[in-house]
Amino acid sequence: MLRLVLLPADKAGNLLQALWQSALDFFFPPHCLACGRVGSHYCVHCLAELPFPPIHCTPESALRLQIAAAPFEGALRTAIHALKYEGARQLAPLLAARLAEAVARSDFRAQAVVPMPLHSERLAQRGYNQSALLAESLAARLRLPYLPNAVQRIRHTAPQVGLNRQERAANVANAFRADPEQVRGLRLLLVDDVITTGATMRACAEALHQAGAAEICGLSVAVATLH
Ligand SMILES: [Zn+2]
């Protein structure tokens, strides 16, 4: 396999993956899954037609606010799946713009942006963290510091899919550790792609709170309902 000079193997692998994706996008440009416009798996026009879900406020907990930018349904659901598993990175700036709009509708004044971390093993398998793509793009848009290593997953957790509310909370309890040096005293936006019960968001916010973060606002592209 082609090995790029002066880059470690994992970086070269990621770069090759990104180049391959760009080539695929050039020859087979993606279409908006809702309206068919060429350019991306979802488009700004269809996004603008979706409602903003109500902001979930829990002032007594480590996670003061939970903001979602859209409902997790229809074509957006398929587009988020493409971002997460099929390397549809071009969706990140589009969805980050919507995240910025959702934050602007709240009273939260963030000082830094933190992505929901993936466990290192899963990151190695997938090659990228979709939440990090979203968080980095959002931070650039809001002109805020981006803190990709502020919080880590310290143990491997089973996927939350298929678990009920209690099982989800138990699955992610104590799964995170945050770095006090990076987060102490700050109001943080914690970014994930989808919130379902909020169990992962709450566990991660708890770790950030214990590390001295002043306030944490959970922010997701979409909010799903648990059936
Ligand atoms: Zn569209």
Which tens digits make up the pLDDT trace of 153-187?
Answer: 998 888 888 888 899 989 998 999 999 999 999 99
Specify if 33 maps to a domain.
no
pLDDT of residue 207: 97
Q: Any idea what the CATH number is for the domain that residue 136 is in?
A: 3.40.50.2020
In a domain, 16, yes or no: no
Please give the distance, rounded to the nearest whole angstrom, from the Cα atom of residue 39 to the centre of ligand 1.
10
On whether residue 144 sits in a domain, the answer given is: yes
Which range in 4-8, 170-174, 200-204 is most confidently predicted, on average pLDDT?
200-204
Rounded Cα distance, 126 and 120, in Å: 10
Q: Ligand 1: distance of its center to the CA of 80 in Å? A: 14
Quick one: tokens of 224? 């799903």
Q: State the distance from the centre of ligand 1 to the C-alpha of 204, rounded, in angstroms.
A: 33
Q: Which two tokens stand for residue 30?
A: 């993606």
Give residues with Cβ within 8 angstroms of 207, minimum separation 6.
151, 176, 177, 178
Q: How far, in Å, is the centroid of ligand 1 from the Cα of 153? A: 35
Please give the distance, rounded to the nearest whole angstrom, from the Cα atom of residue 36 to the centre of ligand 1. 6
Cβ-Cβ contacts under 8 Å for 129 (sequence gap 6 or more): 115, 116, 117, 118, 123
Q: Which of 28, 76, 19 is nearest to 53 (CA)?
A: 76
CA 44–ligand 1 middle distance (angstroms): 7
Q: What is the dihedral of CA 57, 58, 63, 65, to 10 degrees?
A: 10
Task: Tell which residue, 208, 171, 222, has the closest CA to residue 63.
Answer: 208
Using one digit for the tens of pLDDT, what is the confidence trace for 12-34?
A: 777 887 788 778 777 778 899 99
For ligand 1, the distance from its centroid to the CA atom of residue 199, given in whole angstroms, is 31
Report the C-alpha gap between 178 and 221 in whole angstroms: 23
Model confidence over 55-110: pLDDT tens digits?
999 888 899 999 999 999 999 999 999 999 988 888 999 999 999 999 999 999 99
Tell me, yes or no, whether 187 lies in a domain.
yes
Specify the pLDDT at position 8: 62
Structural domain boundaries, residue 58: 53-158+167-223
Answer yes or no: are the C-beta atoms of 46 and 35 closer than 8 Å: yes
Q: How far apart are CA 179 and CA 186, in angstroms?
A: 12
In a domain, 19, yes or no: no
Kindly state the tokens that stand for 45. Answer: 């026009």
Residues recorded for the chain: 227
Find the 159 Cα to ligand 1 centroid distance in Å: 30
Q: Say how many Å lie between the CA of residue 82 and the centre of ligand 1.
A: 15
Domain count along the chain: 1
Inside any domain, residue 197: yes
In the reported structure, the alpha carbon of residue 76 is separated from the centroid of ligand 1 by a whole-number distance in angstroms of 10
Cα angle 159-10-28, degrees, rounded to a multiple of 5: 75
Q: How far is the CA of 26 from the centre of ligand 1 (A)?
A: 19
**Domain assignment of residue 84, yes or no:** yes
Asked if residues 52 and 219 have their Cβ atoms less than 8 Å apart, the reply is no
Would 35 be classed as within a structural domain?
no
